[in-house]
Amino acid sequence: MVRRAYRGGNILNNDDKIKFKEMLNTVFDIYNRTHADQNLLRVWWIKLQSYDMPVVSKAFDSWTTSSNKAPTPYDIILLCRQKSLDVMATKKLPFKPLSPEKRKEISEKLQGLIKKMRGVV
């Protein structure tokens, strides 16, 4: 699945449209609503296109597990934001230990900045 950058993140691409439509139709079936027409589908797509497909899918899954009413795009956006934050929180930054020389260099720079801020320089 090819993704391109969009507002600092990834977006759903054209290959995802079919999966998205099937997912939305399934959710509408669960809540006894008629399937989305082209205009409604376009609104949903535009509102959710800035999220990865797995995030959108998890948001719909969370909604159907916890709510007895059909979702609005805003409901799913809120869940996508939360899911995106959850994914970001689980990513670990690589640990690179600093050499004693580098620690000393950084410490001296920091002490110089503190003195500058206090007007001691």
Average pLDDT score over the chain: 84
Instruction: Give pLDDT tens digits for 64-118.
Output: 999 999 999 999 999 999 977 766 666 666 777 888 998 899 899 999 988 888 8
Which tokens is 21 given?
A: 């439509």
Instruction: Give pLDDT tens digits for 27-47.
Output: 999 999 999 999 999 999 999
Higher pLDDT among residues 90 and 7, named by residue:
90
pLDDT given for residue 22 in this prediction: 93
Task: Tell me, yes or no, if the pTM score tops 0.75.
Answer: no
Across residues 1-23, what is the average pLDDT? 64
Q: Residue with structure tokens 């809120």?
A: 78
pLDDT given for residue 118 in this prediction: 87
Which DSSP string do the residues of 12-33 spell out, in sequence order?
--HHHHHHHHHHHHHHHHHTT-
pLDDT given for residue 98 in this prediction: 82
> Any residues with CB less than 8 A from the CB of 19 and at least 6 apart, and which?
53
pLDDT given for residue 117 in this prediction: 87
Higher pLDDT among residues 121 and 16, named by residue:
16
Which tokens is 35 given?
A: 């399937």
